[in-house]
Structure 1
């Protein structure tokens, strides 16, 4: 298939397996969830009865004082241990490389079908100022959460975009399924498209 390069009148020939693949909602959902879970720290921890600091001395006699208790570290007391204490854990989910790449292809293909994928010859700004990039995006009609993918992005482009919370600038190695799904529009340079095709084909 061919993708139109905006502003040049050229056509870029790309692989159907990458940019014209059938969309699989289940596959994309599984990969996006796994990607996000891999970023979770999983460091939540609580203390059990045996881990709480404090004396284990029996503080009252066994009988004649109501309920029987051994020490104040029991879960029913304030400052005591937690009955089913949470511990550090990993939220990582196994995703095969073939599944991950297949999900990226499915997302890119769906973006292309919906008209939310634009290819440009190059994307850069003259100076690293926010208003320069905002003006450029406004001219292109990209005001809502654009993702800019460039192979050779200049420092000025990254500087101009870092103060805009809804704009992301990535290189080819930095794209991920969560970023693609969360973007309203994806702008890719022609060089980036070829790199992505080499990577995913």
Structure 2
């Protein structure tokens, strides 16, 4: 298949396996969840009744004082331990390379079908100014959350987009499923598309 290049009569020939693949919601959901879980610190920690700092001495006599209780470190007391205390753990889920690449291709294909992909010859600004980035996005008629993808993003491009909320700049190496799913519209350079094809082939 072919993708139209914005502002040019040329068309970019791309692989059907990457930009015209059948969408699999289950696969994409699994990969997106796994990617987000891999970013979780998993450092939450609570103390059990055996770890709480406090005496384990019986708090009052067994009879004559109402309810019968032992140590005040029990979970029913304020300042006591937690019954099922959370401990540091990993949230990582295993995703095969083949699954990850298939999910990326499925997302790109669906974005292309929805008309949310724009291809340009070049994506750069001469000086690192926010006004230049705003003008470029306006000319491309991007949505509220645009994602700009280049083969190797220049420093000027990063700096120009830094002060704009919801505008993301990525190079192909830093592309991930969460960034693709969260973007309203995506701008690829022609070189970036070719590099993505090499990566997902």
Instruction: Provide the residue aligned with 2:179 in structure 1.
Output: 179
- Residues 125 and 133 in structure 2, CA contact (< 8 A), matched pair in contact too: yes
TM norm structure 2: 0.96
**Aligned 1:1-150 pairs, distance under 5 A:** 1-150=1-150
Q: CA RMSD in A?
A: 1.1
Q: Which moved more, 1:37-46 or 1:170-179?
A: 37-46
Q: Which moved more, 1:81-90 or 1:102-111?
A: 81-90
Q: CA deviation at 1:66?
A: 2.1
Q: Which runs of 4+ in 1 moved over 4 A?
A: none
Q: CA deviation at 1:63?
A: 2.3
Any unmatched runs of 5+ in structure 2? Answer: none
Q: CA deviation at 1:62?
A: 2.2
TM norm structure 1: 0.96
Q: Distance in 1 between matches of 2:98 and 2:199?
A: 12
Q: CA deviation at 1:65?
A: 2.1
Q: Distance in 2 between matches of 1:34 and 1:165?
A: 26
Q: Which moved more, 1:62-71 or 1:11-20?
A: 62-71
Q: Residues 24-79 of structure 1, C-alpha deviation per residue, up to 9 Å, x if partnerless? A: 11111111111111111121111110000011122322222222222111111111
Any unmatched runs of 5+ in structure 1? Answer: none
Q: How many residues align structurally?
A: 201
| Matched position secondary structure for 2:5 | strand
